[in-house]
A and B are shown apart, each in its own frame.
Chain A
């Protein structure tokens, strides 16, 4: 027979027990306010108005990060979108835009070129792409061996000695930024040039961009100019509906950009 006293006592213990997991996360993760005071969270800002499609960022990235120059893979690339007046969207990124866009013709692959008359264009622009260093990276969740992980400052890295090359992460990334390194045969991705960040420099693509279309900043520093723009101006991210919380912010995105 349960008495009222016992009922109340066990109810209280049960409720307290259920609160423990929440309490633990707070102790281990720290509150967002605490992190904001002293933390470091690398984020990227791309201005698609400023990008002219020169591809110097891709050239620099491949050489800086030792991605074989003629292999058709790249940690970063530039996409061209040409929207014609009939509402059709033409997009291409020949050789990841390593050599820039030097022809008005759209590369449709397999040697096909689509000629578009200038008077038919309603809007056209360039969109640089790179790893979004998501706050909730799905590529990391699926790794069965712990070879890819998120560092404290938000950058997602791949352990080349530990990767077994199963390719799950490449399938899991909604942005298609991962690929197999042609030499090491392990998963490869943009690291925001982790080695340069550590040395107080900016990523190679940021330095190489003559137009200031690519910028990097620390989201936890309220005085960082990039953070100011992300917080005070109109920016958007790619595929927000996936819940990955991407940390590459864009100015001037359009609905045609996937």
Chain B
């Protein structure tokens, strides 16, 4: 065999070897086939931990109970008991993982007092086969004290005028 055959062959083998070496260092050690086999779980195992470590923002209704027991008690007597506090008051945790409980670190929660927040449920949509039709509401809410916040008259923790 002549040199002009061997030389390019050595170059090709060299390139392949280089790619394999680079691949060895580049691909993470925990990259492989896991529980669901090659088709569905060929991945980097440590990424599962990334998603588990994601910061929780919404803490749930029970989180507020101890400090704001009066509000917690009053809303639980009203029809609004099904709405969790953070739906209007905003999430009690931040993207950095700071919780509302560490009050000095977290800015005051931004409460949504807008009419639009109430419209989500209380614009009357008389839809057959949907529970939306069962909620009390306005067909045209802009005719009812336009420009005013609903919460000026209706306490969201006890929404019926005159309590309860």
Chain B interface residues (CB < 8 Å from chain A): 31, 34-37, 39-44, 47-48, 50-58, 60-61, 82-84, 86-87, 90-91, 95, 116, 119-121, 123, 125-132, 135
Say which size band chain A's interface belongs to. Answer: 35 or more
With contact pairs A149-B41, A152-B36, A195-B54 given, residues A100 and B127 touching in the complex (Cβ less than 8 Å)? no
Please pick, from A60, A103, A125, A146, the residue contacting B87 in the complex, using a CB distance under 8 A.
Answer: A60
Contact A151–B129 (Cβ < 8 Å): no
12 A–B contact pairs at CB < 8 A? A49-B129, A51-B131, A60-B86, A64-B58, A66-B95, A101-B125, A146-B42, A149-B42, A157-B47, A162-B44, A208-B84, A211-B131
Please pick, from B47, B57, B60, B125, the residue contacting A53 in the complex, using a CB distance under 8 A.
Answer: B125
> For residue A149, which residues in chain B have a CB less than 8 angstroms away from its CB?
34, 36, 40-43, 47
With contact pairs A52-B135, A210-B83 given, residues A99 and B41 touching in the complex (Cβ less than 8 Å)? no
Alpha-carbon distance between A50 and B135 when the two chains are bound, in angstroms: 11
CB distance from B118 to the nearest CB of A (A): 9
Nearest first, the 7 closest Cβ-Cβ pairs linking A and B are: A100-B120, A149-B43, A124-B127, A195-B54, A52-B132, A54-B120, A102-B119
> For residue A146, which residues in chain B have a CB less than 8 angstroms away from its CB?
31, 42-44
CB distance from A181 to the nearest CB of B (A): 13
CB distance from B115 to the nearest CB of A (A): 9
Binds B, one of A14-22, A166-174, A196-204: A196-204
Contact A207–B44 (Cβ < 8 Å): no
For B139, the closest partner residue in chain A by CB is A104
With contact pairs A100-B120, A159-B43, A162-B44 given, residues A63 and B56 touching in the complex (Cβ less than 8 Å)? no
> For residue A160, which residues in chain B have a CB less than 8 angstroms away from its CB?
47, 50
> For residue B91, which residues in chain A have a CB less than 8 angstroms away from its CB?
60, 63-64
CB distance from A101 to the nearest CB of B (A): 7
> For residue A72, which residues in chain B have a CB less than 8 angstroms away from its CB?
none
Alpha-carbon distance between A201 and B131 when the two chains are bound, in angstroms: 27
> For residue A195, which residues in chain B have a CB less than 8 angstroms away from its CB?
51-56
> For residue B61, which residues in chain A have a CB less than 8 angstroms away from its CB?
207
Contact A49–B131 (Cβ < 8 Å): yes
CB distance from A150 to the nearest CB of B (A): 4
With contact pairs A194-B54, A201-B56 given, residues A124 and B130 touching in the complex (Cβ less than 8 Å)? yes
